[in-house]
Amino acid sequence: MKQASITRIRDNILIQALPEVVFDGWTWDVATRAAVAAGYDRAMTRSVFPAGVIDLVSHFSDWADREMLDSLRGIDPDGLRVRERIHAGVMARINALSPWREAERRAITYWAVPPRQLQASRNLWRTADRIWVWAGDTASDYNHYSKRMLLSGVIGTTVLAWLNDESGDTDKISAFLDRRIENVLKMGKIIGKLKKSA
């Protein structure tokens, strides 16, 4: 089966699963029911998510990334400062998750279990990398890694702030994100000076 076909099937199952995840969490039973609701045989679930639930929750992150990138297609990053590009990327990610806020909350709870944290970090790194690539980053030295590490932290804390805020005030989250980006830019300058000194 081609990767594009696998991704399409995974997307179809995920979309069916998301409303149920809100009530039942990220479980294999939810995944198999979603597969049937999407028109597939129950066995298809294991075929496209061979590692089980961890594959499904990872695909949720990948799907949100792709939704984020779709919404960013209408924005020309060349006309923005770097901090504006990063702000646009992170907010686009949050907007993609907005209809599935509780599913994202449950995903974070799922990833909090220690054996799953490595994969959670990989997913977060992938999101940061996709934002930087969209923003036009071409760094290939240590900056490539430090930028993604720092942005991973920004994404993680901003999503947590968004989940913990019950006001529904997007401007509040946007302002929080601006402060986090400002802090990270200052930190990046400090790291750069230390590297040069070394």
Could you tell me the pTM of the whole model? Answer: 0.92
Angle at 117 between CA 56 and CA 151, to 5 degrees: 95
Count CB neighbours of 102 within 10 A: 14
pLDDT of residue 158: 97
Q: What is the pLDDT of residues 31-75, one digit of tens each?
A: 999 999 999 999 999 999 999 999 999 999 999 999 999 999 999
What's the token pair of residue 186? 């200052």
pLDDT band with cut points at 50, 70 and 90 for residue 3: confident
Distance CA 133, CA 138 (A): 7
Mean model confidence pLDDT for the chain = 93
pLDDT of residue 189: 59
- Given CATH 3.40.190.10, say whether it is the number of domain 53-197: no
CA nearest 64: which of 84, 86, 91?
A: 91
Q: What is the pLDDT of residues 111-147, one digit of tens each?
A: 999 999 999 999 999 999 999 999 999 888 878 898 9
